[in-house]
Homo-oligomer: A and B are copies of this chain.
Amino acid sequence: MKVLVLTGMPGSGKTEAVKVAEEMGIPIHRMGDMVREMVRAKGFELNRANLASVANSERKRLGPDIWAKRTVRVISRSPIVVIDGSRSQAEVDYFRHELGTSLLVLAVHSSPWTRWQRISKRHREDDPRTFAELRERDGQELKWGLGDIIATADMMLLNESSKGHLRGQMRHLLLDIGSPSPAGGQADAGRMPLAGGTPGPAGEDRPAKTPGNETTFTEVNEK
């Protein structure tokens, strides 16, 4: 089993990459959906401010990795699973602790200028309206450690040109991860992936989890 944590700056093309996985029948866990559900359950209006407020008050109440804990508890059993929306180092650390070498962090990167060109075309209400504002918003996004996750990603997709090019790369990568490993138990160590980044170490400091102890996914207790 491989759990892909997908990350990237706003406008990098992360959503499109998730779509490709979804179309291939891969289960997607959107961390934002859990927050959205909670906002709804509390009877609040679904807007940016309420989402951030609920997400952060839960982090303060139960720890910075609370959304990661909740995600791991409901994770699907499937050869590949995608987790979308992780933005803090604490979350990735928790995923790594629980999932060991099953975890792969995949970052989608586009230059700020390319992201700005995309964002300025999509006309979303709460998007930045100038390039300077995008830089400012980037600074806010990076506060939680998003930059550190990207800088230490196991795999990276560059998305500077067309949607089709990104989709091709993503499909290729998922097929590569999903293909049976020639070495059996040693999984992916030393194997060259197609899209940059080796799919994680096998053994060394953290032994890969075997199917036998995968039940730990459901044994996580809050707090």
Q: Which 7 A-B pairs have the closest CB atoms?
A: A147-B147, A158-B196, A147-B148, A111-B197, A147-B151, A132-B205, A150-B151
Q: Does A94 contact B (CB under 8 A)?
A: no
Q: Which of B116, B139, B192 contacts A161 (CB 8 A)?
A: B192
**Count, chain A residues at interface, CB 8 A:** 41
Q: Does A222 contact B (CB under 8 A)?
A: no
Q: Does A112 contact B (CB under 8 A)?
A: yes
The count of identical subunits is: 2
Residues in B with CB closer than 8 Å to A148 are 139, 142, 147
Cβ A112 vs Cβ B205 within 8 A: no
Q: Does A145 contact B (CB under 8 A)?
A: yes
Cβ A111 vs Cβ B154 within 8 A: yes
Interface residues of A (CB under 8 A from B): 9, 109-114, 116, 130-132, 135, 138-139, 142, 145-156, 158, 160-161, 189, 192-193, 196-198, 200-201, 204-206
Residues in B with CB closer than 8 Å to A147 are 142, 145-152
A110 to B139, CA, bound (A): 24
